[in-house]
Amino acid sequence: MEFDYNSTRSKLILAEYGRNVQKMVEHICTLETKEERNRYAQVVIDMMGVLNPQLRDISDFKHKLWEHLHIISDYQIDVDSPYPIISREERRRKPAPMGYPQHRIKIKHYGYMVEKLIEKAIQKPEGESREQMAIAIANFMKMAYVTWNKDAVQDQQILADLRELSNGLLDLPPHTQLTTLEFRTPPPGSSRPRTSSTTNKRSGGHHSSRDNYRDNHKKKKKKRKG
């Protein structure tokens, strides 16, 4: 008696479709006429769609099935596909390696974009517009510093870093006041620190709607007692 073990069978090319589909595809390859191969290939395509319903969420669902059909046949099947099929050589071709940026960031917690903004500001003619842009960059640098270091920072430090990054070309006056920021410890389960400007805080004199309701309720009680 001979037993049929997986170890003695041909390699299962796409396991998600199973061995029966692979055997059907192998049988289609042996059919003599293309008309027969096309007809049976369409039946197998429909069956493959039933076996993998999750592929229906893909925009090129049918195209993907026809590609899988050719892969299962080891690109031996000769049928009329309604879609262009990528050849074995094209599929195995490795993409060209992507170049890694070689730019060295001077102060990492400010990032590359701050350096690009500084370059733009330097190109502007000296005057109020250039100074306002430099202040805006400094405020962004302060926010980045507080977020990265999770600590407060003096404005003088930010102005000094701006001066260094611009090679002394953006030299704001020492008395320049930047946006006041404070570091807030993130809530449990959140890894992102939060910064907030103290200028945006509400004044303590405002009552919430609950406080107003409580005050009105007390007034009504006093009237009833009176």
Residue 195 bridge partners (DSSP): 183
Q: Mean pLDDT over residues 175-203, rounded?
A: 64
Q: What are the extents of the domains in the chain?
A: 7-92, 111-199
Q: Which of 34, 64, 35, 59 is nearest to 49 (CA)?
A: 64
Give the pLDDT confidence of 147-170 residue by residue, as tens digits.
888 888 899 999 999 999 999 999
Measured between alpha carbons, how far is 140 from 59 in angstroms, rounded to an integer? 41
Residue 68 has pLDDT above 80, yes or no: yes
pLDDT at 95 (0 to 100): 83
Q: Which of 61, 56, 52 is nearest to 82 (CA)?
A: 61
pLDDT at 199 (0 to 100): 42
Indicate the pLDDT class of residue 206, thresholds 50, 70 and 90: very low
Give the pLDDT confidence of 105-132 residue by residue, as tens digits.
888 889 899 999 999 999 999 999 999 9
- The pTM of the full predicted model, rounded to 2 decimals, is 0.46
